[in-house]
Structure 1
């Protein structure tokens, strides 16, 4: 499969990722159950009358997509593709609360209209007056990867040259309460979380929005070449190494060709064993992790893709991300491996341009 180039990268996360010197200012957090995104001043980007009608995920995505398009020098993308796990859950909760409070009568449709998962891509298209291909993928932790795969296929087939691809998820009060009751989120007694050697289940939950412009041609702003993507829904632990090695073999690479591997250690003991298994393949690579910087959420891989782009462009690996002591004078190939609670495993291979 032919490659496409990631020509811009923008991210709103629990880190201050909209400012400069991103890799130097990363700060881990392991002592709270939920991490909130650092939000920009939305009034600089969105009319005040519209802000109050937008959920958090729509606002984050609007700003992140604005920065991504601006950096790539694109005013009208040939397509808009967004991946999300939970969509606009804030408006979903408001609509369901209205249903209960009003005994299913006299409901205003606004919250329902804005609660659909494709609200984000639709709002971005409306703001840009973009009538091109517009699609939303809802595939839990591989939502971004499916979006990138779609973009890659369209560019390969000559249907588009520059595509805006993004991922976004927000926290909402009731959903977080249910996650706590279901032990998806770590109990307070298990904090601070040990991301790499955890003996307890549950994660610290985060949120954020990451947007990229992927294009047919390399430009002055290019971060990386998107070489290949592989996604699988379920995987047995003893199949992990074959899953990764088959992917490398398909791309004519060995483990020694991979300079850095970014793993999604979340602090959940039961599912992190997949990452421990994967580490054994790469004795000479720099092994990195990132969810102590972003929290776990459906599209956390957007944050890791954003960091990988900066590592390739700036040719430096932040010490706060290192699992082992391996350092590289040059970072050419980065492999990203992610899953959520042991399901929806994805591999993304990025190459320096």
Structure 2
């Protein structure tokens, strides 16, 4: 397979990641049950009349995609691929609320039409007047990874030269209430959360939108080379090491040759065991974590991919992300490992462009 490059990145998250100086101003959060994304002034990007009809995830994605395309210098991509775990859940909740309140009668279809998961990719295409390949992946925590894998295949097969790839998820009031009831979200008495050595269940939930332009040609703005992706739906705790080692062997790499590994420690005592197992393989690598900055959510790996791209390009690791004290002189490659609640495991290997 030929090389595929990540030529631009953009992210809206619980950090001020649209700000050029965000790298020096990362602020961890461990005392809130829910982390809200820092949203831009949408009036600068979206006409107010259109913005009023858009859910939060559509607005975040519209802005993040505009940033990514502008940085890559591309007006119209050859494909738009978006990964999302929950889709436009705000509109889903509004529609269901209308169903209940109106006894299933006299319903306006608007919220239902806008609640489908592919609304995000569709709205971006409408805004760009892009009639190219348009696809949405809904695979919980590996939604972005499936999207990137599709984009990589599109480019390798000669179907596209530049692909806009994104991941997005929003919070909704009712869903957050349900997550608190079933202990997906940490109880107040278990806060502040200890992300690395937690003894309690549950996570701090976040939201955000990350977009990337993948291309077959390396450019002046290139951040990284997307080398390989591996996805596994179910994995026993005892299979973690083999899962990772097989991936490294396939890419002709030894454990010590991984300069940096980014692990998705979420503060959930049970599912974080996978990351603890994985960390034992990389004692001589810089070990990082990130969900104390972004929160946990279906497409949180978009934030880690965004950070990994900046780390490779800047050759600098933010102190706030470090688990151990290992620092390599040169950062050539980064391995990202993520899952959600012990399911949908993914490995992404990025190399310096």
Q: TM-score, normalised to structure 2's length?
A: 1.00
1:133 is matched with 133
Task: List gaps (5 residues or longer) in structure 2.
Answer: none
User: What SS does the aligned partner of 2:210 have?
Assistant: strand
CA distance in 2, matches of 1:8, 1:221: 6
CA distance in 1, matches of 2:2, 2:143: 21
User: What SS does the aligned partner of 1:304 have?
Assistant: helix
**CA drift at 1:2:** 3.1
User: CA deviation digits over 1:28-73, x for unaligned, max 9?
Assistant: 0000000000000000000000111000000000000000000000
Q: Determine if contact 1:3/1:228 at 8 Å carries over to the other structure.
A: no
2:295 is matched with 295
1:248 paired with 2:248, answer yes
CA distance in 1, matches of 2:217, 2:152: 12
Misfit runs of 4+, over 6 Å? none
**CA drift at 1:238:** 0.7
User: What SS does the aligned partner of 1:35 have?
Assistant: coil
2:114 is matched with 114
**CA drift at 1:21:** 2.2
CA distance in 1, matches of 2:16, 2:274: 29
2:8 is matched with 8
Q: How do 1:43-54 and structure 2 match up within 5 A? A: 43-54=43-54
User: What SS does the aligned partner of 1:209 have?
Assistant: strand
User: CA deviation digits over 1:130-166, x for unaligned, max 9?
Assistant: 0000000000000000000000001000000000000
Task: List gaps (5 residues or longer) in structure 1.
Answer: none
2:276 is matched with 276
CA distance in 2, matches of 1:229, 1:272: 21
State the Cα RMSD in Å.
0.5
Q: Determine if contact 1:92/1:115 at 8 Å carries over to the other structure.
A: yes
1:33 paired with 2:33, answer yes
2:174 is matched with 174
User: What SS does the aligned partner of 1:233 have?
Assistant: strand
CA distance in 2, matches of 1:266, 1:2: 34
User: CA deviation digits over 1:332-353, x for unaligned, max 9?
Assistant: 1000000000000000000001
Q: TM-score, normalised to structure 1's length?
A: 1.00
CA distance in 1, matches of 2:305, 2:21: 17
CA distance in 1, matches of 2:289, 2:250: 25
User: CA deviation digits over 1:145-202, x for unaligned, max 9?
Assistant: 0000000001000000000000000000000000000100000000000000000000
